[in-house]
Amino acid sequence: MIEFDSKISNFNKKSFYIENYGCQMNTSDSEIITSILLNNGFFLSKNLYKSNIILFNSCSVRKKAELTLKKRLENLKFLKKKKVLFIIVGCFSKEFKESLIEKNMVDFFVNPDSYKEIPNIFFGTKKKFFRKRESYDDIPILKKIIDKKITSFLNITRGCNNMCTFCIVPFTRGREVSNNPTNIIEKCKILYERGYKEVTLLGQNVDSYKWVNKNYVLYFSDLLDIIAKELPFMRIRFTTSNPHDMSKNVLETIYKHKNICKHIHLPVQSGSNKILKLMNRKYSREDYILLIKKIKDIIPNCSISHDIMTGFCNEEEKDHLDTISLMNKIKYNYGYMFSYSPRPGTYAYKKLYNNVPEYIKKRRLKEIIKLQNSHSLLRMKEYIGKLQEVLIEGLSKKNNNFLYGRNTQNLVIVFPKKHFNIGDTVFVKVKKATSATLIGDII
């Protein structure tokens, strides 16, 4: 047991540092946590070594994230010895949490539903794990910390009702809750007033957003439509869309508004019906292909990205080949690819056999990554010679004389800086392409 009461007395300055690992959902959560702490008299430190509280915000969707975090904690052990308080926030399996507490590597764990409890740690609570149901609808938008940042994230739902058999999210983040549309719209307006030019609406499954009121029911397409109209100069993105829940209304709304970006992230996971069934994904390969066709019919210039997982339980070579043939059919713009790792608590962990050997998982993963790279290059090359409207996001990391931004399809474009600034919208003529970047010149 850690004697945190004596530690707390060291916290007169209460300065905190937050490290973020993982996805956009984590970035958004770090902003919520920062907002809560700032409103409770804490100070945000820019220097890890000078702060007396370090928050690690990570996720346990894949085992790799847990391993990365463990390594980081090992490396920072010397700070913990100096009585810096280590708090882990995010979703983790019970086993993982207990092992870290046992080894005295961490002081507190806070689940995604309990961020509001973090200040209570300093007011003498004895609890080590916090869990509650929470939507954070009432947490104010954080004041801009990084001046030049022009893209922002906003949760519109939390949790997930889908129960894919491999996925830990429904256990760590709970059942789905949709946020109040009035608050969402208000927050989008605040973001715009603070200088953000783009907002990404976040949820595990944004298409199932639903707000039920005495007088009306509001669906995701309605919400998108309202935000697009209220903020005509704000770029709107959203993620993630579950193929099962994507409606024609959403597609028509995307098409209707110029400021809703023409990109859909549509995780497929596998191209094999047998595997999709075992995963409890509620669509078939055929449904998915039809949906892609519908997207392209309604929004012809829409880019499509994916998540694919290799080596799920009982995946045979012919299932893997089904995934390959699906990829060849669709030729996605880009994608995120993973090899399956069993997560404690999930149906697959408890009831299915993780029976694909690691070396086969790795080989299959390598094959799909290679294939995706070739498709990405093919898709990127389609833009050569075309004029793209680009929102400038920053200086190119490789060369300070270049800027980078993204087009509506969420593809990165790099071009010479000239006299333009971050936040400007410019037209860039694409001259060259790699599988990850378009290269051009402002016209």
* Residues within the interface to ligand F3S (CB under 6 A): 160, 162-164, 167, 169-170, 204-205, 242
Cβ distance 336 to 378 under 8 Å? no
Q: Which residue is nearest to ligand SAH (CB)?
A: 307
Which H/E stretch holds residue 431? strand 425-433
**Distance in angstroms (rounded) separating the CA atoms of residues 377 and 382:** 9
Nearest CB to ligand F3S, comparing residues 160 and 295: 160
**Distance in angstroms (rounded) separating the CA atoms of residues 159 and 111:** 12
Buried b (16+ CB within 10 A) or exposed e, 165-190: bbbbbbbbbbebbbbebebbeebbeb
Which H/E stretch holds residue 25? helix 24-38
Nearest CB to ligand SAH, comparing residues 65 and 380: 65
In sequence order, what are the beta bridge partners of 201?
A: 154, 238
Q: How many CB atoms lie within 10 A of CB 104?
A: 12
**By the rule CB under 6 A, 205 interacts with ligand SAH:** yes
Shortest Å distance, C-beta 245 to ligand SAH: 9
Shortest Å distance, C-beta 205 to ligand SAH: 6
**Distance in angstroms (rounded) separating the CA atoms of residues 242 and 229:** 25
Shortest Å distance, C-beta 308 to ligand SAH: 7
Could you say which of 338, 383, 404, 415 contacts ligand SAH (CB under 6 A)? 338
**Distance in angstroms (rounded) separating the CA atoms of residues 18 and 61:** 20
340 contact choice in ligand SAH, ligand F3S, none (CB below 5 to 8 Å, kind-dependent): ligand SAH
Strand-strand pairing, 235-239 and 198-202:
parallel
Shortest Å distance, C-beta 111 to ligand SAH: 17
Could you say which of 235, 285, 343, 406 contacts ligand SAH (CB under 6 A)? 343
For residue 239, say if its preceding peptide bond is cis, omega within 30 degrees of 0: no
Q: What are phi and psi of 283, to 5 degrees?
A: -140, 160
Nearest CB to ligand F3S, comparing residues 311 and 440: 311
Shortest Å distance, C-beta 219 to ligand F3S: 17
Shortest Å distance, C-beta 339 to ligand F3S: 15
**421: three-class secondary structure by DSSP:** coil
Shortest Å distance, C-beta 407 to ligand F3S: 28
Q: Of the ranges 5-13, 253-261, 337-345, 368-376, which one interacts with ligand SAH (CB under 6 A)?
A: 337-345
- The CA-to-CA distance between both ends of the chain, in Å, stands at 63
Could you say which of 62, 173, 263, 379 contacts ligand SAH (CB under 6 A)? 62
**Distance in angstroms (rounded) separating the CA atoms of residues 345 and 165:** 10
Nearest CB to ligand F3S, comparing residues 163 and 298: 163
Shortest Å distance, C-beta 222 to ligand F3S: 21
Nearest CB to ligand SAH, comparing residues 267 and 440: 267
In sequence order, what are the beta bridge partners of 425?
A: 391
Window 139-178: residues binding ligand SAH (CB under 6 A): 166-167, 169
Which H/E stretch holds residue 54? strand 53-59
Nearest CB to ligand SAH, comparing residues 242 and 376: 242
Residues found near ligand SAH in the complex (CB under 6 A): 61-62, 166-167, 169, 204-205, 240, 242, 267, 269, 307, 309, 338, 340-341, 343
